Amino acid sequence: MRNQWRRLAKGLLLGGMLLSSAACAGPGIQELNSYMVPPEQVGDDTQTIELAMTKSSKNAIFVSEAVTSEFEKQTGIRVKLQLLPTEQVSSVLKTKLAVGEAPDLILYNLNTAAFELNLENNFEALDGEPWAPRLVSRQQLSYNGRMYGFHLTQDAGQQGIVYNKKIFRRLGLKVPQDFEELLKVCEAIKAAGITPFFMPFKDAWATELWTSSAFADYAKKNDPMLWSDINAGRRKSADIPALTAITQQQYDLYKLGYTNGNVLRDSYDMAVDTFIGEKAAMMTMGDWFIADVLQKDPSMDLGLFPVPYARGADLAISPLGGQLFIPKKAKHMAEAKRFLEFLASQKVAQEIIDRSNFISNLRDVATPEQPAYKQEIFERYIKPGRTVMTAASSQTVDPGDKWKYLQEMFAGGITAHEVWVKWDKRFQQLMKEKQALGFW
């Protein structure tokens, strides 16, 4: 799981790194038989739709043999898998889309499709599909206000502050609700001889989790046009004081001595043992890290709370990997949409959700009992709608250089404001290379 989520984060840079958490046993044939298509809707001749994915995702639940075989049995439509090399998946799909050889379905990642495959121009919007009104949340399937992806789960990878509940209980601490409270919690933990925050910033992608989570909540509640303005060239990140202030908060934790000594030397790979050994109490990360820790030590009691840059912040959720997309130039558009309808049918979806232990994104499909930490996240944040898509989900270009600028700040080379001055210049260059409107 750890490597899958690290690949997902790096997928913003490399493209096509899909979640394969759904790589478990597919629905049983008997259960799937309960979703029957009327005989008059089954064609006389077997049609074939092509579904493209990386080789590493070939065991995904959507494409298990039980699922595709039952779909063919009920509809007469065969699903042919097109396995693409993981390392070249983005370039291969770009070529196929450009020359009119698009597959009928693609298993991919929303963000990568947005800034590498020209999502809005090349893929069909799915807002009007018959299963869409049954969705609990569309945000992790959507880009720029339109829904392009299909998935049955809303378990998109929640991120914020992972914390050791045992340490908090032992020291009589409560989850901080704002930054001032966080500083007081850090001081109490430090006084107990424990490092309050572990920052694994040798891995550049980890530097952005604080800002991406907090920026998203800030924009949602205070500046809803922020991302559209930035992406249209109407505003610059460096001209928005709140972005600099939030970035400075994370740096202050380091300068005040509340982190590991050399944040640019320590990596994610060190974090599990650091937490198990109670050498650190908190880390800005996602719930995938909790799963990694519990796999090694099931006795650990960890939780997750929103980045407390301001009071009442919502929990950030990551762009969801492993979604199904339909290209606009799909040769069998109707049949591809019918496959999504089949997957979204109540009984088929329930079987997939149960087998995969997903948090359901369909109102008429129940969520099975989750691990304690995930059940808590579901009850406190997902169920009441206290979530927000990370700022990373609004990015339209490769964010790799931004991560480097954040690393440079922790090295003492630039200020929090200068991070965004440098990023604005790089962002403008990348948008010009894309020939984006507002940057010509």
Spatial CA neighbour of 163 closest among 7, 63, 33, 307 = 307
- When pLDDT is averaged across residues 28-57 and rounded to a whole number, the result is 57
Average pLDDT, the chain: 87
Return the pLDDT at 11. Answer: 38
Model pTM score: 0.75
Q: How far apart are the first and last CA of the chain?
A: 41
Query: Percent of the chain at pLDDT above 70?
Result: 88
Q: Cβ neighbours of residue 213 under 8 Å, at least 6 residues apart? A: 159, 160, 284, 306, 307, 313, 316, 390, 391
Contact 10, 313 (CB under 8 A): no
pLDDT tens for each residue of 52-94? 988 767 777 788 888 999 999 999 999 999 998 876 788 899 9
When comparing pLDDT for 370 and 170, which is higher? 170
- When pLDDT is averaged across residues 239-250 and rounded to a whole number, the result is 98
- When pLDDT is averaged across residues 138-160 and rounded to a whole number, the result is 88
Spatial CA neighbour of 283 closest among 296, 294, 270, 298 = 270
- When pLDDT is averaged across residues 23-47 and rounded to a whole number, the result is 41
pLDDT confidence bin for 113, thresholds 50/70/90? confident
Q: Is the pLDDT of residue 272 over 70?
A: yes
State the maximum Cα–Cα separation within the chain, in Å, rounded to a whole number: 75
pLDDT confidence bin for 229, thresholds 50/70/90? very high
pLDDT confidence bin for 320, thresholds 50/70/90? low
Residue type for 388, please? Answer: V
